[in-house]
Amino acid sequence: MKNYYAIVVQRAVVAGKPTGSIDVSAYYFLAESKENVRAAIHSQHPFSYEGAEGDEVIWELLRILSIDERSELISGDEVTGFITSVDELSGFVEDPDDCRDVT
């Protein structure tokens, strides 16, 4: 098994309507391969819960930005990251149906 870190972009849908809320999160996986990590991410989405107002809140996976393998970490190491443009980031909201993985 190997250590992997993945960065994913998710958007909130509240009461069936997409909001402007975008979440960029980093996740840790102990897995055999990047393909196993990708499958695990897809199996977790979408996930939902009841919001404060009683509406269903759904977090939809928009993109997997990166999946990186790390064998050893030293204090202060960058765990994972991604480089993007303002246009790409704004595109997550402007074109929310474009849910292709970039990894």
Is 42's pLDDT higher than 90? Answer: yes
HEC-encoded secondary structure of the chain: CEEEEEEEEEEEEECCEEEEEEEEEEEEEEECCHHHHHHHHHHHCCEEEECCCCCEEEEEEEEEEEEEECCCCCCCCCCCCCCCCHHHHHHHHHCCCCCCCCC
User: What percent of the chain is predicted at pLDDT more than 90?
Assistant: 44
40, HSE (Cβ side, Cα atoms, 13 Å):
16
Could you tell me if residue 60 is inside a domain? yes
79, HSE (Cβ side, Cα atoms, 13 Å):
11
Could you tell me if residue 70 is inside a domain? yes
Could you tell me if residue 57 is inside a domain? yes
Could you tell me if residue 59 is inside a domain? yes
User: Per residue in 53-75, pLDDT tens?
Assistant: 899 999 999 889 999 998 777 78
Q: Which domain holds residue 34?
A: 2-94
Is 98's pLDDT higher than 60? Answer: no
Quote the tokens at residue 69: 């393998």
Say what the pLDDT of residue 94 is: 60
Looking at the structure of the chain, the number of domains it has is 1
Is 103's pLDDT higher than 50? Answer: no
User: Per residue in 11-27, pLDDT tens?
Assistant: 889 999 888 788 889 99
Could you tell me if residue 42 is inside a domain? yes
Could you tell me if residue 80 is inside a domain? yes
Is 95's pLDDT higher than 60? Answer: no
Could you tell me if residue 10 is inside a domain? yes
Is 6's pLDDT higher than 80? Answer: yes
Could you tell me if residue 101 is inside a domain? no
